[in-house]
Structure 1
């Protein structure tokens, strides 16, 4: 049976601002390449070539980078969502570009080590109408949960509760039989979890769960984004799109690192980055053209393109927008976010989100 893929990349990434003011979340540099590159490489490795991207926010950025997909050994098409349609509505919105029997659908903000071939095998062996990737989490209270029976068949979609009956949650990856997509109402918002999937259960359709314990992370928050980039850089999640060998650091083109500086913990230094004497970069992502001056410390943070971290400054658990200047001796801690273009004066000023 033929298979193709749909990737939903239309969200505005509000929780990741100010990083997403200049680029959609799936295009943010993650271990040296756009986040979406890691997902597309997994799709390609599974033997799938035709991929439709459902875009909306800054839609042109995707086509500018990936083009027709030929450079990535893929055939890419783009469909722009003109108004928010929710997950199922967005899937229905691209249906006229689909031509396969089975359609893999991905939320475009999930890092996952799921074996896609095994997911498809589960779907076909169960002769399912839809198959959901489910993951087990330590604390399912912050998620809706998805119970399954002894045969792996989904029995319900439950809202968040303080006493969830199972630890399985929807992992944001699905296999749809094509007729199921065609039956989704067109031209209006439709939720997969609140409308499509419950409707399928009520009709007696086969909704299958595929539970695995592979790496899984929703990178929608700053802390998760930082962690995900570091995990890919260090090889905790293997990715064929990683532009350098996995290890303590990924250094892109024309990076300068002083001999006594330290870059570790899965940090990525973007092109033309300049790390000064005695500086320490740990578990952080620095976009292109960032300068970190002597003695500065950057830990578990994201530094936007063209930003400067001044001498002796400390940036820990912070998000710094494009073009920001962090003055010498400043301390930015615990979830601080600095919007693009801001200049923080030197002099030991301390900023904390708390």
Structure 2
């Protein structure tokens, strides 16, 4: 069995962060979200991996390399534009050959891995096997309809009137039969080749499509809210560790990791939290569910429930919370100009200002 990881999306819901960074490399607990998927694939005993990349290919290739750090053999497959999940299968046709494969979306996060899913597929050999989870608003997802026996009888992508609350999780297993389905697809109303249409084709062709409803945790980390929630979840499982320097005037409470080369001076850190390598925290408060990346600087400031990416600095400001702060960002106090705000914002930014 091979694996196909789709990492060619542009990440419009994470702008402006994704104007300069691949969405799959935004860190969760100081590790790119893509890496969690690669580790899950390797843990399932899969070695050969096709990684579909787009405009951010250089950044992803630099981060993943040849895959040996994960125990994988990576082949990069260029996708000229994000034209749908089934389009990713289409361009990977020669690489996949006649092998079964697992398709994993590079910005998805699944707790518990995929070992059981892969073992069940190998044992039962359906044409396709999908993972489902119940969601509050299924209109945002691909949605499955099951019959009374629990078999998949229909699929629809982002329906206006969903027939169930069962959304497709971003992990799929396919036999080579899916290639015939993909070859027959036409672009949907979104202009994309939909993987839900390919699975529906298999169903209508009389082939078996199996599903399982997961009870564990799954998130599509495509927006800031979900990214912060996944960061919180992962931090809940970290073991406290101090590899850097913490002075006697500082206090660490709960699950706190201080990485090698980091310094914490005259500060309070309440876990779960990570202070990345060579980060500097001085005269500050770091609250729960916060990840400070490598080489960050925090001085005379407070931050909580946030992700701060490498090289960013925050100094002399009041409380910062529920924030995603990009690489090498500088956050400083504004000049004391009454009734004025000076803003330099990227496209599609969202800003909340106290009045």
Bin the TM-score by the shorter chain.
0.7 to 0.9
1:344 corresponds to:
none
Match of 1:273 among 261, 273, 279: 279
| Counterpart-to-counterpart distance in 2, 1:12 and 1:161 | 22
| Unpaired runs of at least 5, structure 2 | 244-253, 336-342
Equivalent residues of 2:181, 2:201 under 8 A apart? no
| Unpaired runs of at least 5, structure 1 | 331-336, 341-349
Equivalent residues of 2:267, 2:281 under 8 A apart? no
SS at match of 1:184: helix
Distance 1:338 1:94, change over 3 A: farther
Aligned-pair Cα RMSD in Å: 3.1
1:334 corresponds to:
none
Match of 1:191 among 191, 194, 207: 194
Equivalent residues of 1:286, 1:302 under 8 A apart? yes
Q: 1:190-220, CA deviations, whole angstroms, 9 ceiling, x for partnerless residues?
A: 1112x21222222222121121211111111
1:107 corresponds to:
105
Match of 2:264 among 236, 257, 266: 257
| Counterpart-to-counterpart distance in 1, 2:98 and 2:260 | 40
Deviation of residue 150 (structure 1)? 4.5
SS at match of 1:147: strand
1:301 corresponds to:
306
| Counterpart-to-counterpart distance in 2, 1:74 and 1:135 | 28
Equivalent residues of 1:289, 1:307 under 8 A apart? yes
2:222 corresponds to:
220
Equivalent residues of 2:33, 2:108 under 8 A apart? no
1:352 corresponds to:
353
Give every structure 1 segment of 4 or more consecutive aligned residues whose post-TM-superposition deviation is greater than 6 Å.
none
TM-score normalised by L of structure 2: 0.81
| Counterpart-to-counterpart distance in 1, 2:234 and 2:155 | 31
Distance 1:324 1:125, change over 3 A: closer
Equivalent residues of 1:322, 1:339 under 8 A apart? no
Match of 1:315 among 310, 313, 320: 320
Match of 2:150 among 152, 161, 165: 152
SS at match of 1:44: helix
Match of 2:82 among 84, 87, 90: 84
| Counterpart-to-counterpart distance in 2, 1:230 and 1:277 | 24
Deviation of residue 49 (structure 1)? 0.7
Aligned length: 327
TM-score normalised by L of structure 1: 0.81
1:1-354 correspondence runs (5 A): 3-99=1-97, 101-140=99-138, 142-158=140-156, 164-181=162-179, 183-185=181-183, 189-193=192-196, 195-235=197-237, 248-265=255-272, 267-294=273-300, 296-328=301-333, 339=345, 351-352=352-353
